[in-house]
Amino acid sequence: MGLWGPLSERYEIHLSEVVSDEAQFFESGEGRKYIDLNSLVEDGRITISCASIAAVKAFRDRFDLDYFSRLDPGEAESLTILLREEARYRFCSADAIVFKVLGNLGKSELCISLEMVFSQVGLGREVDWPYTEEFRKRYLQEGALDRIQDRGLRE
């Protein structure tokens, strides 16, 4: 799509180790295409970050088990890293549950939609619903509502 260049010039891109392990390929109309993350990492265009098990466990312990279980391990690790480095990172996601968790934690400023990312680098384009700013805001609000109604957090 020719997006890596402009994006990596403007942003530091970090991926959690679990997510990078999962991001092996994508499917296009021409079949399965493998993603060569190693070359992007070697070029310094992507940094792989990881969280210790103790840190993820501490993150997990902030939530009701039922709430934590809705996240996949890649997101759990990404959110753990995000909260550790919150002064530096913003989480770009298309997952409602990520926005809900951040809304619940009162950390709405730590996430960004892909639509906003594109806009900031001058690549304004139509994106699917989960990548929109409206999607992000909707689920941040739902997370905030969970917090008000005392759902999800243990603390």
Partner 1 sequence: MSLAEKLRYARERTGLTGSQVRERTGIGESSLSEFENEKREPSLSQLQKLAEVYRRSLSFFLSDEPIPEETAVMWREEPDNAGEIEARFLQFCERYHNLEVWTAEKAPLQLPEVTSDAGAFGYREASDLAMNVWRQLALGERPGGSLLTVLEEVCGVKVLHDTFEPTGNAACARSDTFGGAILLNTGSARWRRNHDLAHELFHLITWNRFHGSSASGILRPTADEEKLATSFTANLLMPAEPFRSAIERRAEDGKITYAGLYDVAREFDVSIESVMWRIHYVYGRGPSRSDETKAQIDAVKEYWHLYEERTEDTSPAKFPDRYRALAVKALRNGDISVGRLAEYLEISRQQAMKYLRREEAGIEEISFATS
Task: Using CB under 8 A, pick the residue from 11, 68, 132, 147 that binds partner 1.
Answer: 68
Show the tokens assigned to 102: 């951040």
Under the binding rule (CB under 8 A), the answer on residue 56 touching partner 1 is yes
Closer to partner 1 by CB, 7 or 100: give it.
100
Closer to partner 1 at the Cβ: 5 or 73? 73
69 binds partner 1 (CB under 8 A): yes
Contact pattern from residue 2 through residue 41 relative to partner 1, giving x for each residue in contact according to CB under 8 A and a dash for the rest = ---------------xx--xx--xxx--------------
Closest CA to 88 of 63, 110, 59, 112: 110
Distance CA(67)–CA(30), nearest Å, equals 38
Q: Does 152 bind partner 1 (CB under 8 A)?
A: no
Pick the closer one to partner 1 by CB: 109 or 128. Answer: 128
SS (H, E, C) 40-100: HHHCCCCEEECCCHHHHHHHHCCECHHHHCCCCHHHHHHHHHHHHCCCCCCEECCCHHHHH
**What phi, psi does 63 have (nearest 5°)?**
-115, 160
Footprint of partner 1 on 89-128 (CB under 8 A): 94-100, 128
**Residue written as token pair 């009701």:** 64
Binding site for partner 1 (CB under 8 A): 17-18, 21-22, 25-27, 50-53, 56-57, 60, 65-66, 68-77, 94-100, 128-130, 139, 142
